[in-house]
A and B are shown apart, each in its own frame.
Chain A
Amino acid sequence: MKDFLFVFRDNGMPSNVSPDEMQAMTKRWMDWIGGIAAQNKLGDRGNRLFPSGKVVKPGNIITDGPYSEIKESIGGYSIVKANSLEEATELAKGCPGLTTGGSVEVREIREM
């Protein structure tokens, strides 16, 4: 089994989400992660990221947030265990973020 990083990208949370919708979304994430864990393929559930941040560029140029240039921002990450990139990609297909315009980047982790 190898480790793969899932990087969750989203378009930012729409502003008009009701608490019920929010709760339903959380449940879908929990069920999805739970499903990966039930296959014994979850390495680390990872974390979610606050939307705001800073970006440091050469010459100590600091800008607000990563999203000034790209539309999507990283919303969180998890680590899964799979035998191949294909298998890991298959696991990513059920990600609830995909239904709201987000994406999952799947990358094999190379141990240092």
Chain B
Amino acid sequence: MPLYFCKGIIFMKQTELIPHLFRTEYRKIVSVLYKLFGIEYIEIAEDIASDTFLLASELWGLKGMPENPTAWLYTVAKNKTKDYLKHHSIFTQKISKELKYSTETFHETEIDLSTKNINDSQLAMIFAVCHPCNPPEAQIGLALNLLCGFGAGEIANAFLTNKEVIYKRLQRAKEKLRAEKIKIEQPGLSELHERLPAVLLTLYLLFNEGYYSSSQDTSLRKDLCQEAMRLNYLLIENDYTNKPGVNALFSLMCFHSSRFEARINEEGGAILYEDQDTNLWNKEMIEKGEYYLNLASKGDELSKYHLEAAIAYWHTHKEDTEQKWENILQLYNQLLQIDYSPIAALNRTFALAKANGKKDAIAEAEKLNLIDHHLYYTLLGSLYTEVDNEKALEHFQKAMMLTSSNSDKVTIGRNIEKLKDLEGFKNR
């Protein structure tokens, strides 16, 4: 198999190169075309971009690689777009009002695939995709489909559901964007303040989908996290959207992904924080997280991403110090005041045990009453361990009954084993 040398892509085989280019270039081409055609005609944009790659895989196989594959793709995409517009005069007339240029000048205008216009188009698409007219899970699906070039099958794998469900969800979400006549443009300054939180929430959920998913497909999960980070970074690169909350979210993602290798075992199961090999923590990512957390601290905004990033920062210190847990506890206290979630309430109680002792934490835990969550009983089990081992066992057993996840069952089982090794349980 011959090796090729091309601009920016060194020694990549052709069989690897096309999928690679598809990943990196498809979404760029398609977002420029989406913005050009408008939300009404996103399928046409997708057809043109897909046809471009289809032609590449046919021609490159026969004739060999062009000298600059990316430039080749851009030229073909531009020509296909122009051809399309020329040969579909009805279409052209219909959409000419919506196009930024009149039909006449449009044929003469170069389709702009400059880095700047690609970035601007992607940014505009982020805002369209994360429009609050669609529910969050639909926004995540749309983001993966329209911004990241993921097919319905891949998205279904990530969401642990079937392809038809995702396909229908995507269709509905696209219909909704059309019905609401959502414009593919960056919102005005006055609107930005209102729209940015929805965008950040979608990116946050997209990242979490990869990070916390129970899917065994580790590389897919990493992909989701990386895509969320890439989109988040687009917002940082643009002065207009480079706000403290954007940096805080990016910092959070950096801290979390620094533990990616350490928290998943070879079978795709979870390794608990306490059991992680710190040598596998990515130092570079931790430093990056600190850098963006500093940037996020400029200004007086304190979002939930700031608090979560600060909590994640303290978790990059493995050794248990009083300062560490006191800080984590206070951050959770603040986080719960602005954004309650059961997981934050449980984690806060865990931090409370570390900072104030188990007695306080047990009293607080009993008040939470999160009786549907296996994690609630896991927490109670570990709080009661060595305080009241009988109760601890009861709680662990309840947790076991409530979870369906195998890796959770293994973890809980290990806790029960540890408990039985303790004094007083030896003869049972």
Interface residues of A (CB under 8 A from B): 27, 30-31, 33-35, 37-40, 42, 45
- Give chain B nearest CB distance to A36 CB in angstroms: 9
Pair A39/B368 contact, Cβ less than 8 Å: yes
Among A33, A34, A45, the one with the most B-chain Cβ atoms within 10 Å of its Cβ is A34
Across-interface contacts of B332 in A (CB, < 8 A): 34, 38
A45 and B344 CA atoms in complex are apart in Å by 17
- Which of A27, A31, A33: most chain B Cβ within 10 A? A31
- Report the minimum CB–CB distance from A39 to chain B (whole Å): 5
The residue on A at minimum CB distance from B351 is A34
Q: Which residues of A contact B344 (CB under 8 A)?
A: 38
With A31-B356, A33-B337, A45-B337 as known contacts, state yes or no: A38 contacts B368, CB within 8 Å.
yes
**Complex alpha-carbon distance, A46 and B368, angstroms:** 22
How far does the Cβ of B371 sit from chain A's closest Cβ, in whole Å? 13
Chain B min CB distance to A90 (Å): 9
B218 contacts A by Cβ under 8 Å: no
State whether A37 and B333 are in contact (beta carbons under 8 Å apart), knowing that A31-B352, A31-B356 are contacts in the complex: yes
Judge whether A38 and B345 touch: CB under 8 Å: yes
Give every chain B residue within 8 A of A39 (Cβ-Cβ). Answer: 345, 367-369
Given A38-B336, A38-B344, A40-B340, 17 extra CB contacts under 8 A: A27-B326, A27-B330, A30-B330, A31-B329, A31-B333, A33-B333, A34-B332, A34-B337, A34-B348, A35-B367, A38-B332, A38-B340, A39-B369, A40-B345, A42-B336, A42-B337, A45-B337
CA distance A35 to B353 in the complex (A): 13
- Does any Cβ of A come within 8 Å of B349's Cβ? yes
Q: B residues engaging A (CB < 8 A)?
A: 326, 329-330, 332-334, 336-337, 340, 344-345, 348-349, 352, 356, 364, 367-369
* Residues of chain A within 8 A of B348, CB atoms compared: 34, 38
Pair B329/A38 contact, Cβ less than 8 Å: no
**A30 and B340 contacting across the interface, CB-CB below 8 Å:** no
Q: How many whole Å from A52's CB to the nearest CB in chain B?
A: 26
Main SS of chain A's interface residues? helix
Q: Are B345's CB and A30's CB within 8 A?
A: no
Q: Is the CB of B364 within 8 A of A35?
A: yes
Q: What is the CA–CA distance of A92 and B329 in the complex, to the nearest angstrom?
A: 21
Query: Taking CB as reference atom, which chain B residue is nearest A35?
Result: B364
Query: In this complex, what residue of A is CB-closest to B367?
Result: A39
Taking CB atoms, residues of chain B closer than 8 Å to A38 are 332, 336, 340, 344-345, 348-349, 364, 367-368
List 19 interface pairs A-B (beta carbons < 8 Å), by A numbering.
A27-B326, A30-B330, A31-B333, A31-B352, A34-B329, A34-B333, A34-B337, A37-B336, A37-B340, A38-B336, A38-B344, A38-B348, A38-B349, A38-B367, A39-B368, A39-B369, A40-B340, A42-B337, A42-B340
Given contacts A39-B345, A39-B368, A40-B345, contact A34 B356 (CB under 8 A): no
Q: CA A76 – CA B345 in complex, angstroms? A: 25
Chain B nearest CB: distance from A11 CB in Å?
26
Bound form: Cα–Cα A31–B353 in Å = 12
CB distance from B372 to the nearest CB of A (A): 14
B333 CB contacts on chain A under 8 angstroms:
30-31, 33-34, 37
Q: Which residue of B lies closest to A34 (CB)?
A: B333
Q: In the complex, what residue of chain B is closest to A39 when comparing beta carbons? A: B367
Give the interface centre of B332, B333, B348, B352 by most chain A CB atoms within 10 Å: B333
A86 to chain B, nearest CB (A): 15
Instruction: Tell me the minimal C-beta distance from A60 to chain B in angstroms.
Output: 39
A27 to B360, CA, bound (A): 14
